[in-house]
């Protein structure tokens, strides 16, 4: 019997996104409430540079959408379906909710890895979706 290793890990999609930090309106409470979960807002507000952290998560969400093979709805509520929080080791980790979760299941995506980076002016993110 083949102990089918539950590794999975076949790459299904990748996503990259970047944005000027100054172009993400993180000072706007309505923008934040529509696009970030409460836990994300708490986390980003506690960081040394909240605008950089919000921008990094913003491009991270967009990168995840690309890796899922679905178009984001821009500033619509769907961005909230992608939640990026740091685990106990400080590694950014993706949790999917709502439609994004359904879409991932449909496509056989079991894991989405993410990495975020920001310089002084630009935030960039990379996401990889695999089975």
CB of 72 to a second copy, least distance (A): 11
Rg (CA), the chain: 15
Helices (H), ranges, the chain: 29-35, 38-45, 50-68, 98-106
Shortest Å, Cβ 12 to a second copy: 8
Stretch that binds a second copy, among 38-46, 47-55, 73-81, 83-91 (CB under 8 A): 83-91
74 binds a second copy (CB under 8 A): no
Local structure of residue 12 (DSSP, 8 states): E
Tell which one of 28, 47, 49, 131 touches a second copy (CB under 8 A). Answer: 131
Residues 6+ apart with CB under 8 A from 2: none
Please state the closest distance from residue 42 (CB atom) to a second copy, in A.
21
Q: 20 by DSSP, 3-state: which?
A: strand
Instruction: Identify residues 3-42 at the interface with a second copy (CB under 8 A).
Output: 3-5, 7-11, 13-20, 23
The owner of tokens 């990748």 is: 14
Residue 81 burial by CB count (10 A; 0-12/13-18/19+): exposed, middle or buried? Answer: buried
Which lies closer to a second copy via its Cβ, residue 41 or residue 112? 112
Binding site for a second copy (CB under 8 A): 1-5, 7-11, 13-20, 23, 63, 66-67, 69-71, 89-91, 111, 113-120, 122, 124-128, 130-131
């Amino acid at each position: 019997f083949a102990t089918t290793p539950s590794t999975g890990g076949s790459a299904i999609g990748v996503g990259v996104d970047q944005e000027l930090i100054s172009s993400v309106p993180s000072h706007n409470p309505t923008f934040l409430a529509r696009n970030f979960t409460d836990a994300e807002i708490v986390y980003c507000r506690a960081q040394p540079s909240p605008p950089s952290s919000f921008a990094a998560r913003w491009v991270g969400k967009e990168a995840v959408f690309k890796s899922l093979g679905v178009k984001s709805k821009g500033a619509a509520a769907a961005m909230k379906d992608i939640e990026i929080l740091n685990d106990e080791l400080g590694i950014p980790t993706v949790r999917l909710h709502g439609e994004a979760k359904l879409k991932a299941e449909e496509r056989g995506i079991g894991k989405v890895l993410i990495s975020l980076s920001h310089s002084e002016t630009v935030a960039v993110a990379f996401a990889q979706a695999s089975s």
